[in-house]
A and B are shown apart, each in its own frame.
Chain A
């Protein structure tokens, strides 16, 4: 390709970053296999995040649970909010990738464009493919 406009090249990189984080498939619930892979080999974070992780120390859970037991109200364990959170997390895992708020036609259109961008072929049986991604 002949020389191109540097601004357009920069814009293209910005587009890829936006796509990586904002397309709905980018943060869907992990499958068991994906979870195992992440657990076995979590990618490195920034030096600041790594330092924060290290700062937790080895007795972090002991301190956290002790604090939770001695304080009446502590974030993360309010019964009503927790019920909702747990149920929604399980529901989200069961739902997989489909956004129920979209019409079937819109969902197919988005899927088509996403496949086009990612260079993926149309699945023979979409439902099966949608729930068994590895």
Chain B
């Protein structure tokens, strides 16, 4: 049973989040603060966990919940210590906290550091003289690059664990050129999980195909007859 409502606050029963109401509850008494946390969990659990996952694709599902728990406890403690600022927008604050806690959790496995300018050069170079690069030019010409990046992130985030693990290794090590064996070894080193080279290769290809599917689905690329996009 969750926290009881007190007589002063009767939250709306609509199935829609009311950030203003939650903000007011967070600066209320102990019972109201607990109710605010319950409302955040009820209405924003999935969105906060999505943000954590998007920020930290390497986390195991149980670690995802651990970070979510940290976010809720941060908010609750901030409210108890009267450090919550109701004048700041609630939802950007929650999602920023979620991002920060997720970063903290994965900091040890940080992506290989190269200057962002060099990363952009490597990305452009890799797209040159390819059908994918040609498709990307159409995306860019339609000014839909940012939208497409968002779609790619969503696609990776919802991949099954094995594909996501492989995608993560590729993402973190780019522009390094890896073999399926390298990917398999990195996964073993970072997670302790043994996957065969064949399984790594298959998961990698499936992950790539899902990105191709998105480019095709959005009309930027043609579907090849061999089903390999």
Contacts and interface: CB of A to CB of B under 8 A. Distances in A.
Interface of A: 1, 4, 6, 8-27, 29-32, 35-36, 38-39, 42-49, 51-53, 55-56, 58-62, 64-65, 68, 74-77, 79, 82-83, 85-86, 88-90, 92-93, 106, 109-110, 113-114, 116-121
B28 interface: no
B194 interface: no
B152 A117 contact: no
B116 A24 contact: yes
A9 B130 contact: yes
B78 A82 contact: yes
A29 B95 contact: yes
Nearest to B36: A61
A85 B74 contact: yes
Nearest to B99: A27
Contacts of B69: 64, 75-76
A102 B96 CA distance: 21
A77 B33 CA distance: 15
Interface stretch (B5-13, B50-58, B184-192): B50-58
A16 B47 contact: no
B156 to A, nearest CB: 6
Contacts, number: 263
A93 B158 contact: no
B91 interface: yes
Contact of A109 (B17, B45, B64, B117): B117
Interface in B145-189: 145-146, 149-150, 152-154, 156-161, 164, 167, 170-171, 174-175, 177
Interface of B: 1-3, 17, 34, 37-38, 41, 43-47, 49-51, 53-55, 57, 61-62, 64-66, 69-74, 76-78, 81, 83-85, 88-89, 91-97, 99-101, 111, 116-117, 119-124, 126-127, 129-134, 136-137, 139-146, 149-150, 152-154, 156-161, 164, 167, 170-171, 174-175, 177, 205, 207-208, 211-212, 228
Given A39-B43, A52-B65, A27 B55 contact: yes
A44 B50 CA distance: 8
A64 B174 contact: no
Given A26-B149, A61-B37, A85-B74, A16 B123 contact: yes
Contacts of B207: 17
A13 to B, nearest CB: 4
Contact of B73 (A25, A36, A46, A74): A74
Contacts of A75: 66, 69-70, 73
Taking each of A10, A55, A61, which has the highest tally of chain B beta carbons within 10 Å of its own beta carbon?
A: A61
Given A13-B212, A118-B149, A30 B92 contact: yes
Contacts of B65: 52-53, 55-56
Contacts of B70: 75-76
14 contacts: A9-B131, A16-B149, A18-B119, A19-B120, A19-B123, A30-B95, A32-B91, A38-B51, A45-B157, A48-B61, A65-B37, A75-B66, A82-B83, A116-B124
B117 A22 contact: no
Contact of B89 (A19, A35, A59): A35
Taking each of A17, A47, A79, which has the highest tally of chain B beta carbons within 10 Å of its own beta carbon?
A: A17
B13 to A, nearest CB: 16
Nearest to A91: B96
B100 A89 contact: yes
